[in-house]
């Protein structure tokens, strides 16, 4: 399937985290949820909000992480899959390599690359990544904001639970939709 320039895959990940820095001995940040949806620029629609829960390989889900994300060790144990399977699903079921993919900031891209290298898993996305946070900032006087503050500035309410991957991906897609409506489709076209 050739690259699709009219659809953006919007991704948000949640990872193991702690209320101390550096992390406790033997613990590293690992992806525990991949939330995503699609923004169809041509139809101006958001579609297919999804969540993949991922079992961490070396880290524990701390009580702090559960308070922040609402993801419990029990949820991940019951419904989680391994990271390699999740990446395979992104490629095979959702054709992730065929779309420009976007996230709020660069963290999602960095942790994906790091975890793929560490586990010897093929990177599931194409080469092009859109940092919606940077694009939003460039359209709003250079001010770099968190997602919730950007939603407020755009006159939108946060939908769902903040720090759940599928809900955050949907809200990021809404912000991208807002930018395209306000500043034009070329905003995304320049990312290719």
Beta strands 31-40 and 45-53: pairing type?
antiparallel
Does residue 104 sit within a domain? Answer: yes
Rounded mean pLDDT of 18-31? Answer: 94
Indicate whether 169 pLDDT > 70. yes
Rounded mean pLDDT of 137-147? Answer: 92
Residue 187: predicted pLDDT: 84
What's the DSSP call for residue 24? P
Rounded mean pLDDT of 121-150? Answer: 95
Assign residue 51 the CATH number of its domain: 3.30.420.10
Domain total in the chain: 1
Rounded mean pLDDT of 145-170? Answer: 97
Residue 3: predicted pLDDT: 65
Indicate whether 37 pLDDT > 90. yes
CB atoms within 10 A of CB 12: 28
pLDDT confidence tier of residue 186, bands split at 50, 70 and 90 = confident
Share of the chain above pLDDT 90, in %: 89
Beta strands 31-40 and 4-15: pairing type?
antiparallel
Pick the closest to residue 46 from 10, 22, 81, 70 (CA basis): 10
Does residue 178 sit within a domain? Answer: yes
Share of the chain above pLDDT 70, in %: 98
Does residue 28 sit within a domain? Answer: yes
Boundaries of domain holding 154: 4-183
pLDDT in tens, 40-99: 999 999 999 999 999 999 999 999 999 999 999 999 999 999 999 999 999 999 999 999
d(CA 174, CA 168): 10
Quick check: pTM over 0.75?
yes
Does residue 126 sit within a domain? Answer: yes
Rounded mean pLDDT of 100-121? Answer: 98
Assigned token pair, 144: 């770099």
């Amino acid at each position: 399937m050739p690259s699709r320039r009219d659809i953006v895959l919007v991704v948000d990940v949640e990872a193991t985290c702690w209320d101390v820095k550096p992390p406790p001995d033997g613990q590293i940040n690992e992806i525990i949820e991949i939330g995503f949806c699609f923004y169809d620029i041509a139809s101006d629609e958001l579609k297919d909000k999804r969540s993949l829960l991922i079992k961490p390989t070396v880290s524990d889900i701390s009580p702090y992480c559960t308070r922040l994300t609402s993801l419990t060790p029990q949820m991940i144990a019951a419904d989680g899959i391994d990271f390699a399977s999740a990446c395979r699903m992104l490629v095979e079921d959702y054709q992730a390599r065929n779309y420009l993919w976007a996230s709020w900031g660069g963290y999602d891209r960095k942790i994906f690359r790091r975890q793929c290298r560490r586990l010897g898993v093929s990177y599931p996305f194409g080469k092009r990544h859109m940092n919606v946070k940077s694009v939003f900032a460039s359209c709003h006087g250079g001010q770099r904001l968190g997602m919730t503050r950007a939603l407020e500035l755009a006159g939108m309410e946060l939908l769902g639970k903040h720090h759940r991957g599928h809900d955050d991906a949907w809200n990021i897609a809404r912000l991208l939709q807002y930018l395209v409506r306000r500043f034009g489709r070329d905003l995304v076209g320049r990312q290719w």
